[in-house]
Amino acid sequence: MLKEPDSMDGLAYFTRQNIGEGKAVAWVKKGPCPKCKTLMGKPVEKGKVKIRAKEYQCPKCEYIEPKDEHAARLDAEIKYTCPGCKKEGEHTMPFKRKKIKVKSKTEDKEITVDALVFNCDKCEEKIIVPKKMKG
């Protein structure tokens, strides 16, 4: 049974989205440093977290790991209501987004977005949890 996080402190990623007739809440917990096991995070410069950092850094031993390598070690945990069968379920998968084409809500064209893609445990319908986009 997956437990939804109480705060964003220990998370590398969080999203809550409506998916057609269903919904999904997805989160990724921060990973431990391979050297000292402290939770890694984005680097802090002048007291502020570097938002668009290309690496993760251990706050204790200052070990630096590229963002892609760090993300490959993490798992996404998802609680969802399937848009097809309306059943509630849970799913854990590697935090590896796929590029998919979806129809834009604002314009009449297809756009490519990053998304977590998995199948419903009950009815096998494909469920797509896209990365939130501006606009």
At 5-52, the pLDDT tens digits run 888 888 989 999 998 899 999 999 999 999 999 999 999 888 898 888
At 70-121, the pLDDT tens digits run 988 999 999 999 999 999 999 999 999 999 887 777 777 888 889 999 999 9
Residues 55, 68 contacting (CB under 8 angstroms): no
Token digits of residue 29: 């917990």
**Would you give the DSSP letter of residue 32?**
B
Token digits of residue 30: 């921060």
**What residues contact residue 50 under an 8 Å CB cut-off, 6+ apart?**
42, 43, 44
pLDDT confidence tier of residue 134, bands split at 50, 70 and 90: low
**What residues contact residue 86 under an 8 Å CB cut-off, 6+ apart?**
21, 22
Say yes or no to pLDDT of 62 above 60: yes
Q: What is the pLDDT of residue 84?
A: 92
CA separation for the pair 115, 97 (Å, rounded): 5
Q: What is the pTM of this model?
A: 0.84
